[in-house]
Amino acid sequence: MSHRRLTDRVVIATHNPGKLKEMQELLAPYGIAAVSAGELGLPEPEETGTTFSANARIKAEAAAQAAQLPAFADDSGLCVDALGGQPGIYSARWGGPDKDFQMAMDNVQALLITVDALTAEKRRAQFVSVLCIAWPDGHVEEFEGVVKGTLVWPPRGTRGFGYDPMFVPEGFTRTFGEMTSEEKHAMPPLGKGLSHRARAFRLLSAACLAADAAE
């Protein structure tokens, strides 16, 4: 399949300030001007999908049609092995209507205790991110990134957002909440593109942002 190059201006289809900041930082080196759905006053569509891919597409397509611009959306979450993949696509909802992620992390920890997942081996998890770009004419591109790791308790660090303070990626001793944004998602040569969103973005950039991407 040929890929379509993303140029000039894009809508970031999120109202989450943490995701918005990360996406803007990822797009900045490519000279892509990014405006958020919130800044344009676009409503948040109901996420009725049952997968990360479906929900990313819902958000991207809704923003692309409303703004008549290419729209860039992410759907991501934490999938805990011992909890059968929960909270998964409902990761944000575990924080309640106020998206209180301390409460969400407390809920994850409480459930891990109930299933006797107290050792590192029983606390395996992964962050999953699907990035979707939709154009007003209906063309869509999707890319998935995964980072595996272990959940710790109590949470550590005040950087990042969401479940970052309780997630230690494989090969590291610090949580995402203890890492700088450059450590977490900066691309080479500044960083290793460590996070799930950065890994998905590396695939996206190679397909839709590289100079030789197909028109």
Active-site amino acid positions = 75
Angle between helices 196-204 and 17-27 (to 10 degrees): 40
Contact 9, 35 (CB under 8 A): yes
Q: Which helix (H) or strand (E) holds 78?
A: strand 71-80
- Select from 165, 115, 54 the least CA-distant residue to 46: 54
Integer Cα distance of 153 and 62 in angstroms: 38
Burial class (CB in 10 A: 0-12, 13-18, 19+), 98: exposed
Q: Strand pairing of 140-151 and 9-12?
A: unpaired
Phi, psi of 36 (to 5 degrees): -90, 160
